[in-house]
Amino acid sequence: MHTVAILAYDEMTGFESGLAAEIFGMTELSEMFSAGIARPWYSVRLCSETPEVRMLGGAVVRTSYGLDELARADTVVIPSVRDVTTPTSPELIEAIRAAYERGSRLVSICSGAFALAAAGVLDGRTATTHWIYVDLLAERYPDVVVDPAPLYVDNGRILTSAGCAAGLDLCLHIVRSDHGVRVANDVARRLVISPHRSGGQAQYIESPVPEPTADGRIASGMAWALENLDSPITLDDLAAHSAMSRRSYLRQFAKATGTTPIKWLIEQRIQASLPLLESSALSIEQIATRVGFESPVTFRYHFARQMRTTPSDYRSCFTGSDPEQQWRRAR
């Protein structure tokens, strides 16, 4: 059975370690059963340097596993570190290096990248962390190629993510890589989260919080557009199906969503293309047409702007064509 060791440490929050435990410890999944995956699919172990750790808020957690078990796990998750301004303990560094040398998959969430960097396993590799810490990580570990933009970075055996919530995306990405799209989507449904946010998606976009619409006309026009993504849709079409003039529609749409109708429409078409790239045999040209782009060139352009990768490279993540993806499946 594939073992997942999750680091616990003094003054940790329950969120980061908990999200990893929830995802890798989940068992009641219909798609898992239909795919013939044995239960439990992962063996989850909470590991710490001491038998007890104090959580933020005053709770005390007793752990049954130490750093020796962490070093022997198939996947090691470092949720974060206690304090980015203090050195990682020699014992944890030794455990991470031991896990790396035996071929384990190493995963960091948020500031956990500092522990991986301290162990030297990120040298020469691209990594990310929470946007607040990227400058400090780059300054302290100049041999690490720190990318401040993405939600997560997958280097095959070593994966790093941005802030806490990006840990959900990364853990779900790991499930998708290990067990396929159907099972990962089932996990996402259980957690009521987005089934896929690309690792290349920006971790921080400054935009206003959308205000609620004054009536249902904007929502009605949006619903119509979603049902007709494969057809040409103009701004006048959207305004007409919202029973507004063009000028009034632009003003009300921006107030309701914080964006423009055309930008929103492009985003919806890109999102509609993702499941087709993940699981269909349609060509890029056919998918572009299916989701309403005028040409494959236009589709590729907008896809790259939004997802920070190409449609073909995105699709390759789900076909096992990448050597590191094949390594994960073999594990």
Specify whether 175 is located in the same domain as 275. Answer: no
Residue 328 has pLDDT above 50, yes or no: no
- The verdict on 231 and 128 lying in the same domain is no
Q: Are residues 186 and 288 in the same domain?
A: no
pLDDT-derived band at 101, boundaries 50, 70, 90: very high
202 secondary structure, DSSP code: B
Residue 155 shares a structural domain with residue 299: no
Mark whether 23 and 107 lie in a shared domain.
yes
Assess whether 13 and 154 both reside in one domain: yes
Mean pLDDT of all residues in 275-303: 93
List all residues 6 or more positions away from 293 whose beta carbon is below 8 Å from its beta carbon.
Answer: 269, 299, 302
Position 203 scores a pLDDT of 66
Same domain for 158 and 127, yes or no, is yes
Model pLDDT, residue 257: 81
Phi and psi at 200, nearest 5°, equal -80, -5
What is the distance between the alpha carbons of residues 49 and 250, in angstroms, rounded to a whole number?
57
- Whether residue 248 is contained in a domain is answered as yes
Asked if 63 and 9 sit in the same domain, the reply is: yes
30 and 165, same domain (yes or no)? yes
CATH no. for residue 224?
1.10.10.60
- Print the domain residue range for 29: 3-191
Q: For position 45, which CATH number holds?
A: 3.40.50.880
pLDDT of 39 reads 64
Residue range 163-182: mean pLDDT, rounded = 89
Q: In this predicted model, what pLDDT tens digit does every residue of 255-283 receive, in sequence order?
A: 888 789 999 999 899 989 988 998 889 99
* CB-CB contact of 41 with 179 (8 Å): yes
Of 227, 7, 246, nearest in space to 112 by CA: 7
Task: Give the mean model confidence (pLDDT) for residues 246-262.
Answer: 88
159 or 327, greater pLDDT: 159
Count of C-beta atoms within a 10 Å radius of residue 85:
9
pLDDT band at 13 (very low <50, low <70, confident <90, very high): confident
What pLDDT does 314 receive?
81
Residue 207, domain member (yes or no): no
pLDDT at 324 over 60: no
* Domain final residue, candidates 191, 222, 249: 191
Mean pLDDT for 175-189 is: 86
If asked whether residues 230 and 187 sit together in one domain, one would say: no
Both structure tokens of 83: 């304090």
Residue 200 in any domain: the answer is no
Q: Are residues 155 and 253 in the same domain?
A: no
DSSP assignments along 286-318, one per residue? HHHHHTT-S-HHHHHHHHHHHHSS-HHHHHHTT
The answer on 299 and 185 residing in a single domain is no
Q: Judge whether residue 298 has pLDDT over 60.
A: yes
Q: How many domains does the chain have?
A: 2
Computed over its alpha carbons, how large is the radius of gyration of the chain? 22
Amino acid identity of residue 177, one-letter, is: S
Q: Say what the pLDDT of residue 319 is.
A: 64
- How much is the pLDDT for 322? 47
**pLDDT confidence tier of residue 331, bands split at 50, 70 and 90:** very low
Among 28-32, 53-57, 178-182, name the one with the lowest average pLDDT.
Answer: 28-32
